[in-house]
Homo-oligomer: A and B are copies of this chain.
Amino acid sequence: MRGDGGGYDPDHMKRSEPGLHPVLAELLPAELHALCTQVQAGKGERLFATGKKPAFMFFVICGEVTLERLGRNGESVILQRSRHGFVGEASLNSPRYHCDARAVADSTLARIPIRELRASLERDPVFAMRWICMLNREVKRLRMQCERFSLNGVQHRLIHLIETEGTQGRYPLGAGLKSVAKELGVTHEALYRCVAALEKNGDLLRDGGELHLLREPAA
């Protein structure tokens, strides 16, 4: 039921010291590989706290992590919710964490020591350029996500998701429609109804593990 690992060998997360996650293995230079460790975080566990000196950067492999900050009245404001990818890149250059990180579901994470990561970036321009490209992709992805959120109507958002994040009109639902609903910022009920309506119209097919957009809905 964690399901959001991106299609990699699910056995990974059971091993105590598995190989580095493919995305990280490709991005990071060899000298950092050995310094990264894979860790488990139980639901509710805190990864780091506001004000502490940043020691590690985290990469979410599966599960869910939030960054939160306290508002002026003590209520917590969620800054970011991550189910896959880096968390707290900003801590790379901060003397202190500016927010709390908390696993809101049982999660598998890669832990990268910041001091050594920094050192590698400063000494290896090719790695630095890869890192910049990674950040550029992240910026682009986030902009598309903002665009999607700015659409009104579940149907518009769903189609935008399939067309921008999917391939050939196909979008894999790793963890079920319910998690897709969260990604779209709508309730799962609304998404179920939307999918059902599109299917009845013959605009969409649900083939087991993926959504297949057949044509542009007339409406």
* Chain B residues positioned under 8 Å from A93 (CB to CB): 129, 132-133, 136
Give the residue of B67, B72, B121, B160 whose beta carbon is less than 8 angstroms from that of A77. Answer: B160
Check A72–B169 contact: CB distance below 8 A.
yes
Check B142–A132 contact: CB distance below 8 A.
no
Check A71–B140 contact: CB distance below 8 A.
no
Give the residue of B72, B98, B132, B164 whose beta carbon is less than 8 angstroms from that of A121. Answer: B132
Q: Given the complex of chains A and B, what is the CA–CA distance between A79 and B161 in angstroms?
A: 11
Give the residue of B92, B143, B151 whose beta carbon is less than 8 angstroms from that of A67. Answer: B143
Chain A positions 118-149 with a Cβ under 8 Å from a chain B Cβ: 118, 121-126, 128-129, 131-133, 135-140, 142-147, 149
A170 to chain B, nearest CB (A): 12
Check A139–B140 contact: CB distance below 8 A.
no
* Chain B residues positioned under 8 Å from A201 (CB to CB): none
Q: List 23 A-B contacts (CB under 8 A).
A: A72-B213, A79-B146, A80-B140, A80-B143, A81-B147, A89-B136, A89-B140, A90-B139, A90-B140, A92-B133, A92-B136, A98-B140, A121-B128, A121-B129, A123-B125, A128-B129, A132-B132, A132-B135, A138-B139, A142-B143, A146-B149, A149-B150, A149-B185
Contacts A135-B136, A139-B142 supplied; 9 other A-B pairs, CB < 8 Å: A71-B151, A78-B147, A81-B150, A90-B140, A94-B140, A125-B128, A131-B132, A146-B146, A146-B149
